[in-house]
């Protein structure tokens, strides 16, 4: 069991995914933080110290890989029009271009200076494929299959680089959940468990809203933890136990802007020893006092 998973099992405080809030607390824009290694390092490090966090994820930016692979996001036009285009993607460029070198540097520095777990964030295959595919191209099954195969290589390469830089694990950013019915999507993630196992690292999937089906899928993919809000807490917890995966029930985002009484009501409605988390990242409108309250071993 990884240090991160062990740590969250030993505390009753929620897993608080802090990213945009880290920039706000440093009085800088998100863009400034993401494009400067020193600002990113200081913002994340200060957030860990301020809230005594058990873990920090170095990126919740789902455009990170696409930019590194040469996508022009301002034009909203991917460059994969065919099987040949997908095959010709330079997999190695994902770790040398764009903002990824900044993230790798920060992972190395955070790992050397913090006692908490440092986790690298990677975008789910669906998000990356949406950026890479050209809407005007030939999106036949062969093209999509090849693209998802290459995306699997990209995410494995990125995971290897994060773990080589000192990360304790990775966070798969899947805001819309998983796609167990899509064999191409599933195959693109199948090799990540081998990478994580080799490094004895943790694998976490972060969703906004999840379900028992997502929890079972995450377990089948070899991940250790999945977080997200759910309409079926008891069934979801039961599924996580049966599937041998940890589940962090996401505190609905609106409760971070409500009064503390409603937040307490939600927490008290959960079964004992339930792992809680923020639904996605902490909303930037959240009062610092509330984050302190939640992180104080609630």
Residue 57 DSSP code: E
Q: What confidence score (pLDDT) does residue 137 get?
A: 64
Answer whether 97's CB lies under 8 Å from 68's CB.
yes
| CA 93, 94, 95, 99 torsion-angle sign | positive
CATH number of the 3-295 domain:
3.20.20.210
Confidence class of residue 257 from pLDDT cuts 50, 70 and 90? confident
Is pLDDT above 90 for 106? Answer: yes
- What pLDDT sits at residue 271? 86
Q: Where are the domains of the chain?
A: 3-295
Give the number of C-alpha atoms closer than 13 A to the C-alpha of residue 36, restricted to the C-beta side.
12
Cβ atoms of 48 and 106 within 8 Å: the answer is no
CA 297/CA 267 separation, integer angstroms:
12
Q: What's the pLDDT tens digit per position in 13-51? A: 899 999 999 999 999 999 999 999 999 999 999 999 999
- pLDDT above 90 as % of the chain: 85
Q: Output the six-digit token pair for 190.
A: 């199948």
Per residue in 208-238, pLDDT tens?
A: 999 999 999 999 999 999 999 999 999 999 9
Radius of gyration of the chain (CA): 19
Distance of CA 160 to the CA centre of its chain: 16
**Does the pLDDT of residue 85 top 60, yes or no?**
yes
């Amino acid at each position: 069991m990884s240090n991160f998973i062990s740590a969250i099992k030993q505390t009753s405080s929620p897993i608080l995914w802090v990213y945009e809030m880290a920039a706000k607390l440093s009085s800088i824009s998100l863009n400034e933080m993401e494009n400067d290694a020193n600002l990113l390092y200081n913002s994340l490090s200060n957030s860990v110290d301020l809230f005594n966090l058990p873990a920090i994820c170095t990126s919740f930016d789902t455009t990170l890989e696409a930019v590194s692979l040469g996508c022009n996001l301002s034009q909203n036009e991917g460059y994969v029009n065919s099987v040949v285009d997908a095959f010709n993607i330079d997999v190695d460029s994902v770790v040398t271009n764009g903002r990824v070198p900044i993230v790798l540097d920060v992972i190395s520095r955070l790992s050397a200076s913090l006692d908490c777990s440092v986790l690298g964030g990677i975008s789910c295959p669906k998000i990356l494929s949406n950026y890479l595919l050209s809407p005007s191209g030939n999106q036949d099954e062969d093209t999509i299959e090849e693209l998802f195969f290459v995306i699997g290589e990209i995410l494995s390469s990125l995971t290897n680089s994060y773990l080589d830089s000192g990360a304790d694990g990775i966070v798969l950013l899947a805001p819309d959940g998983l796609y167990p019915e899509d064999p191409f999507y599933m195959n693109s993630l199948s090799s990540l468990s081998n990478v994580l196992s080799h490094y004895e690292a943790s694998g976490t999937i972060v969703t906004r809203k999840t379900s028992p089906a997502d929890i079972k899928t995450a377990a089948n993919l070899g991940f250790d933890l999945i977080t997200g809000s759910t309409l079926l807490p008891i069934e979801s917890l039961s599924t996580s136990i049966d599937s041998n995966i940890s589940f962090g029930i996401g505190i609905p985002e609106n409760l971070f802007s409500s009064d503390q009484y409603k937040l307490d009501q939600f927490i008290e409605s959960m079964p004992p020893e339930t792992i809680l988390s923020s639904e996605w990242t902490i909303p930037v409108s959240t009062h610092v006092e509330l984050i302190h309250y939640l992180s104080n071993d609630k």
